[in-house]
Structure 1
């Protein structure tokens, strides 16, 4: 799915269970046939997934696995 990158947030915290959560949140805009205009969503990216060098407003390609989690990111 091609999306336009509109924000990036680094995540590093400990949840209530004591588990350390690290990764990156990508805030993206994309077309959705059920929404008039563009839809915005945040996607959590685990540290082991390589994020290409990109800037705000760049178009990137997100690939998802069978569980709906981001598996791969490419620069479009």
Structure 2
């Protein structure tokens, strides 16, 4: 998925079974068929996934696994 990075924020929480989950929530905008302008969406990115050095407004490629979770991000 090609998208434009429009924001990000660090995330950290503990699951009910005591496991610490850390990562980043990224907000992106992308072209969508029935939308004037861009559609916005947020995705959680696990700490283990390397996020390239990009600035707000730059294009990125987001890759998902079969369950729809972010698997990789590259600079576009």
TM-score when normalising by structure 2: 0.89
Deviations 1:5-59 (A, max 9, x none): 00010001234x1432210000000011133321100010001110000110010
**Map of 1:35 onto structure 2:** 35
Instruction: Give the TM-score, by structure 1 length.
Output: 0.89
Q: Residues 1-76 of structure 1 correspond to what in structure 2 (within 5 A)?
A: 1-15=1-15, 17=16, 18-76=18-76
Structure 2 gaps of 5+ residues are none
The whole-number CA distance in structure 1 between the counterparts of 2:68 and 2:50 is 17
Q: How many residues align?
A: 75
Unpaired stretches in structure 1, ≥5 consecutive residues:
none
The alignment's C-alpha RMSD in Å is: 1.2
After the TM superposition, which parts of structure 1 deviate over 6 Å for at least 4 consecutive aligned residues?
none
Counterpart Cα distance in 1 of 2:37 and 2:30: 9
Structure 2: distance between partners of 1:13 and 1:6: 23
